[in-house]
Each structure stands twice: as C-alpha cells, then as structure tokens.
Chain A
Amino acid sequence: MPAVSFQSVSKTYTTPKGPFHALSDVSLDIAEGEFFGLLGPNGAGKTTLISILAGLARATQGRVLVQGCDVQQDFAQARRKLGVVPQELVFDPFFNVREALRLQSGYFGVRHNDDWIDELLASLGLADKANANMRQLSGGMKRRVLVAQALVHKPPIIVLDEPTAGVDVELRQTLWQFIARLNKEGHTVLLTTHYLEEAEALCGRIAMLKNGRVVALDRTSELLKAASGNVLVFKTDSALPAALAAQARVTGRVVQLAAHDAQDIERYLTTLREAGVDVQDIEIRRADLEDVFLSVMAGTSASNLAGSAVAVPGVGAPATAAPGRPKQGAAPLGGSEDTAVPGVGAPATAALGRPKQGAAPLGGSEDTAVPSVGAP
C-alpha cells in the first residue's frame, strides 16, 4: 500500500473569469519511506495538491488515500498520519512555543507528550525558546516551530510545502539534517521546493507539475540521466553571435550553452572566437536538475525527456533566463552529479552546505525563467 496515493485528482475553482483548473487528473503514488519531491513553477498546483492531501481543500474529482485512508471519508485517520508544514509563516500570537506544541499535540489526542516535545525542541535548536512567545521569534525560528508542530503527533508521513523559502543557510542545513534523519528512520517525506539543488540532493523521486498536470515523474537519477549533457558556462560583456544567442541561457554576464558532446563545445568556442567575443571563466559542468526542470517546463509534456539527449537546457528557455542564478560555486565538470541521489543521509547535508553564493537563486527566478507557465 502506498503511503500516499493521488488518484485522478482534479480541482477546479470558480472565478469571476470562469472556471480555473488548478489540477487536472493528477495521479501519483508515493511509496512508504520515499523522499519525494514535487516541483513546478508558481501556480503549477503544488500547494493545491498538498492542500487536498491535508484536507484544507477538497478535490473536485478523484480521491486521495493516506496509507489507505481516504482524506475525506476517513479524515481523522488520514490526518493523524500526516504532519504538514504549511508554506505560510503562520503562528498564533497568544501562545509561547511550548504551549503551541502542547495544544497541537492535544488536538491529535496525544497527551503527556513533553518528552517528545523536548526532543523536537532540541533537534530543531529551539530548546532555549520554549517559553518565548511566538511573536518574539525571528522568521527562521518561527519556521522551526512550524516543523515541530507538524511532527508533534509523530506522523509517519511528513509533508513540507516550501519549507526553506526565505530561510538562511544554517537553518536549511539543520532542517535538512533533521528531515533526512527522520526519512532514514522510515518516515515518508513529501517536499515541494523551488530550490532545485535541494530537490536534486534529497529526493529519490520527483514529479514535476505544470499548469495542474504531471509533466514528468521519475527517479531523480533517471531524470538527470535523461538530461545527460554538459553545459558550457562562461562570462562575457559582449553580445553573443546570433547563432548562439538563440540557444543560450543568459543571466547577467553569465552565459550557459547546452552541449551534448565535445564537438558541440568546440563548435561553440570556435563560433565565439570567430565573432571576437571576449570570454572569461570558462567552465564545463554536468547538466543538473535545474536544466532538466527548465527543459521540461519549456516543453509541453514529459515526452521531451524520453528522447534522452534531446532534453537539454537552453533549448526552450530563451535568453531571458533567470536573474539570480549565477551558481558561482558550481564546480566545473560534474561537481553536482555525485550528490545527486545520495540516499539522503549525511552526504545530503554536505551537498546542501555548498555555499552557492547566489543564495537567493531559484525561488524567485523561476517566474522569470518560465514566464508563460505560472498563470494565473
């Protein structure tokens, strides 16, 4: 029995402009113990899907089972199995951290839970904040409390809706270390994120949503294999020759060109030299999940990926690209590949520790990278 089973889930909202299909016939199963990633641009339907799973919204059609329990008919059982970290940084200003956790525990019928609450507080670095009012906490601290609240009733399945949005590096590490530990101990994890390096490092399997449909669903390693090209990265102040401009992804001074093989790279360099373009900091790196993501989002279906080498970055995503994604820390040639599916344990945190100085990278940039997709 899958931990979570979405069966032909559709969600239609009535809006003044007519019906809006937030989700169309989404079916996917998440197995026990999986670390599953749900990716997609803003408005793709990730949060709607999670809301339906959590009982915050109702599916217009289809159904969702949590370890066999229907989230509508058998909502109490289903919700006991789920620990949901909401996307919004919400808190109840009337209570301190320990009170909030005790209350949340009590709603699930779990009393005398202080041992576990203490353990949660310690694991999340909140021990000294137990008696602080929620209002006094920083954003990062509030985020940790949200995680603690989701876990207070010891759910077997943990759902994290963009848990690291606007969170500093240190907290991200703590958080992922903790979540990875829980996953190792057997918890199923469902994660949505805009940080594709995180998804690449942590998730064993990934679904990509676009306009409410599943457009890719596979093991992370397979998705990466499908995009098994390299990417030529360099910086320049000059304009690119027309032949290259069409397929390049340009981010400020940084230009990225997809390359299937060494010949492609030679051809690019020759073209650049002939055009007299002054090029600096040349690197060749392996295509990563972000390249896969952009390629999938640019196409209309997952079939783009099936033809393996066809799925290369830059093809569909024209020169507009994303502002904040320079990836300055990117190691040349395949630096990220080895961290791709690390089985989520200790290596994961090491991978996440990579500074990636562009720190604000994918979150906001996606909108600009795939402008047409996020509507409305």
Chain B
Amino acid sequence: MTGWQMLFYKEVLRFWKVSFQTVAAPVLTAVLYLLIFGHVLEDHVKVYDRIGYTSFLVPGLVMMSVLQNAFANSSSSLIQSKIMGSLVFQLLTPLSHWDWFVGYVASSMVRGLAVGVGVFVVTLGFATPEFAAPVWILVFALLGAALLATLGVIAGLWADKFDQMAGFQNFIIVPMTFLSGVFYSVASLPPVWQAVSHLNPFFYMIDGFRYGFFGQSDTSPWLSLGIVGGAWLLVSLLAVHLLRIGYKIRS
C-alpha cells in the first residue's frame, strides 16, 4: 500500500466513524427539501413541458448533496487537523504532494458519492427515475465530486480558523449551488439571470448531471463537460501547487 492509499483509507475511516453526521444527516436534509418543495410545487410546475417537479428536483438534489459533501469532507478534515495540530503526523511522513492530493480528493469524492447514492435511494420512494444517458450521470457525478473535493482542499489549506471556513462555505459554495438550477430550470429565468447563471460553473455540473437522467437540459452536455472538466483541471493545478509549497502548513 503506498502513501496515498493510507491517507485515503484514513480519511474514509474518519468520516465513516461519524457517518450519522457526515452521511445520514445530509441525506435527511435533501429528503426534507424534496418533501417540502415537491409538495408545494408538484401540481404547479412542469419542466420541459413533460417532467413533474418532484422528478425534476431529484437529480438536482442528488448532485447538490454530492457537491456539498465532497467539499465539506476535505475542507473540514484539513482545517480540523490544522487547528488540532494533528496534521503534523502527516507532515512528518514521506507523503508527497500528489499523495496528499489524491488521498484527500478521492476520499472526499467517496463521501460525496455515498451521500448522493443515499439521497437517490430514498427519493426512489417519491418519483420513478429515468435513465436516458447513464454514462453522463456517472461522468458528472464523478467530476462534480472531484471539483468540489479539490476546492475543499484549497479552502482547508487557506482557512486559518473555522470562521473563515464557514464563510467560504456559506458565502461561496452554498449560494453557487442554490443558484445553479437545483430547484428550477434556468430556462425559466428572465434572460439577464439566465446569462448570469451561465457564468456559474455549478450550473454546468447540475445541468449535465440532469441530462443523464432526462436526455434534456438547458445547455449541451458536451459544453458542460468541457467547462466542468476545465474548471477541475484549473483548481487541481492550484491545489497541487499549494500542497507542493506547503501553503500555510509548512513555514
């Protein structure tokens, strides 16, 4: 077993030991969204002229859960061990910056996807899913999880205290997810807000993911793939660079 596998194992073990909080709770939150918005809007909204609101909402909620939990895992693990001081145990080891990167990102993807699968399974009781293009589902789930896991690494390295981390999460990650079309089709917005939405990379993750279910989306899945893939590449370069120079973890 090489270094990154051990780090991966440790990170998975870490969230699994508190899975009530890290997996079960986010599933419940997503289901509550589904119950409430589904109940209120099911009879009033039809998307793409044929899809009931609850069915439409499911992929968005699944993806939102994947994204938020992938981010939460790497970021909170890093900031906790920074503040507790236990990061020193990893800093003393021969783990390279690539080991760190792969270990943190892969484990956070596991958490994001575990929550996503959990949400999806529970929503089976509320809506029968379509699987128009399952490969896209998989591709966007993995890419979205990877992108947010990587952002979590950057935020975890950058933040010096929990307050800053909460700011990053509540003022950047949450608004960008909520305004990305989780709860609505961006096509239903006025043109100005449509244009603004198209500047939000989160929009492409949700939209591409949803395409996998319905075979229909606000924009082409290829465009979404290009943008999400490109974004992941960029943030990965940044994250690997920060790990290499030991940004805020080696003085």
Contacts and interface: CB of A to CB of B under 8 A. Distances in A.
Given A103-B6, A107-B94, A58 B251 contact: yes
A93 B86 CA distance: 9
A79 interface: yes
27 contacts: A51-B251, A55-B92, A56-B88, A56-B250, A58-B251, A77-B94, A79-B93, A80-B94, A82-B92, A86-B92, A90-B84, A90-B86, A90-B89, A93-B86, A94-B13, A103-B9, A103-B89, A104-B93, A106-B9, A107-B3, A107-B90, A107-B94, A108-B94, A109-B1, A109-B2, A111-B1, A150-B92
A163 to B, nearest CB: 15
User: What 6 A-B pairs have minimum CB-CB distances, sorted nearest first?
Assistant: A106-B6, A76-B94, A90-B85, A107-B93, A92-B86, A57-B251
* A84, A99, A106: residue with the most chain B Cβ atoms closer than 10 Å: A106
B239 interface: no
Nearest to A146: B89
Interface residues of B, number: 28
A109 B250 contact: no
A95 B3 CA distance: 18
A359 B1 CA distance: 46
B19 to A, nearest CB: 12
Given A106-B6, A107-B93, A86 B88 contact: yes
Given A51-B251, A99-B13, 7 more contacts: A55-B250, A56-B251, A79-B93, A91-B86, A92-B81, A106-B6, A107-B95
A77 B94 CA distance: 7
B248 interface: no
Interface of A: 13, 51, 54-58, 75-77, 79-80, 82, 84, 86, 88, 90-95, 99-100, 103-104, 106-109, 111, 149-150
A76 B3 CA distance: 11
A104 B10 CA distance: 10
Contacts of A90: 84-86, 88-89
Contacts of B9: 103, 106
B159 interface: no
Nearest to A13: B251
B78 to A, nearest CB: 13
A108 B95 CA distance: 8
Interface in B13-46: 13-14, 17-18
Contacts of A108: 93-94
A91 B86 CA distance: 5
A57 B84 CA distance: 18
Given A54-B92, A55-B92, A108-B93, A93 B84 contact: yes
Nearest to A80: B94
Given A13-B251, A58-B250, A91-B86, A84 B92 contact: yes
Nearest to B3: A107
A20 to B, nearest CB: 12
B132 interface: no
* A51, A95, A107: residue with the most chain B Cβ atoms closer than 10 Å: A107
Contact of B85 (A55, A84, A88, A111): A88
B7 interface: yes
Contacts of B93: 79, 104, 107-108
A77 B96 CA distance: 11
Contacts of B251: 13, 51, 56-58
B195 interface: no
